[in-house]
């Protein structure tokens, strides 16, 4: 079967906490009033979203008349005791310094390790693909977080890059396309397209 399928990954709109550089994993702020979004079409068979407010609000803004499927497995990494804090708040903390030097090895106190985080995302992605294949849906969208999208790009993009090499601005989207059989066997996608943020119209 050579059928093409698309999964679009959409990063939620910016929050005030994002603007001040705070670590917000499971912290639950709203999107900012001036948040901007990529221009996506409304022809998706299924709409998935992280259950945190900044994602559900973004999804509601993009698809006001559609029902979304909530998926807590696609939350951002849990930063534990560092939730809501900035680099300036933490720079003299020895455990934080160790984590910054190797964030893929250490875990924040009370938070998730990168391994725990990626295992959760893998579980969520498998559930998304199973639901997509159940009725042979061809095009779905997932509103989620920067860390989630970076990991999925690291794992599935045609071009291999490290986690930190992927730049995913708030409100932007990335379209990944597979042959359905390749997606079923968890292979890398065949093509990737960045959906840019819309420029604000004058007036």
DSSP string, 30-98: PBPTT---B---S--SEEEE-SSHHHHHHHHHH-TTSPPEE-GGGPPPP-GGGTT--HHHHTT-HHHHH
Output the six-digit token pair for 61. 């803004």
pTM summary value: 0.94
- Per DSSP bridges, beta strands 139-144 and 191-195 are unpaired
Q: What whole-number distance in Å separates Cα of residue 94 and Cα of residue 90?
A: 9
Enumerate the known binding-site residues. Answer: 11-18, 54
Domains and CATH numbers, the chain: 4-195 (3.40.50.1240)
- What pLDDT band is residue 1 in, cutting at 50, 70 and 90? low
pLDDT value at residue 56 = 98
- Give pLDDT tens digits for 24-67: 999 999 999 999 999 999 999 999 999 999 999 999 999 999 99
Query: Crossing angle for the helix pair 146-156 and 114-134, nearest 10 degrees?
Result: 70
Rounded percentage of the chain residues whose pLDDT exceeds 70: 97
Enumerate the known binding-site residues for substrate. Answer: 11-18, 54
Could you tell me which residue, 197 or 177, shows the higher pLDDT? 177
Q: CB of 189 within 8 A of CB of 177?
A: yes
């Amino acid at each position: 079967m050579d059928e093409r399928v698309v999964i679009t990954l959409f990063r939620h709109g910016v929050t005030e906490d994002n603007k001040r550089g705070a670590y917000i994993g499971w912290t639950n702020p709203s999107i900012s009033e001036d948040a901007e979004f990529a221009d996506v079409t409304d022809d998706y068979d299924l709409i998935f979203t992280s259950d945190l407010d900044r994602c559900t609000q973004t999804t509601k803004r993009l698809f006001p008349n559609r029902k979304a499927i909530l998926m807590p497995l696609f939350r951002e990494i849990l930063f534990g005791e560092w939730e809501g804090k900035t680099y300036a708040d933490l720079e003299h903390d020895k455990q934080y310094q160790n984590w910054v030097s190797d964030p893929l090895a250490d875990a924040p106190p009370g938070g998730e390790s990168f391994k725990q985080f990626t295992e959760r995302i893998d579980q969520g992605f498998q559930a998304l693909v199973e639901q997509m294949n159940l009725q042979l849906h061809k095009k779905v969208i997932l509103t989620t977080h920067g860390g989630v999208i970076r990991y999925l790009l690291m794992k599935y993009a045609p071009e291999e890059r490290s986690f930190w090499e992927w730049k995913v601005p708030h409100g932007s989207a990335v379209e990944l396309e597979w042959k359905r059989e390749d997606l079923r066997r968890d292979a890398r996608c065949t093509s990737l397209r960045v959906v840019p943020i819309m420029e604000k119209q004058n007036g």
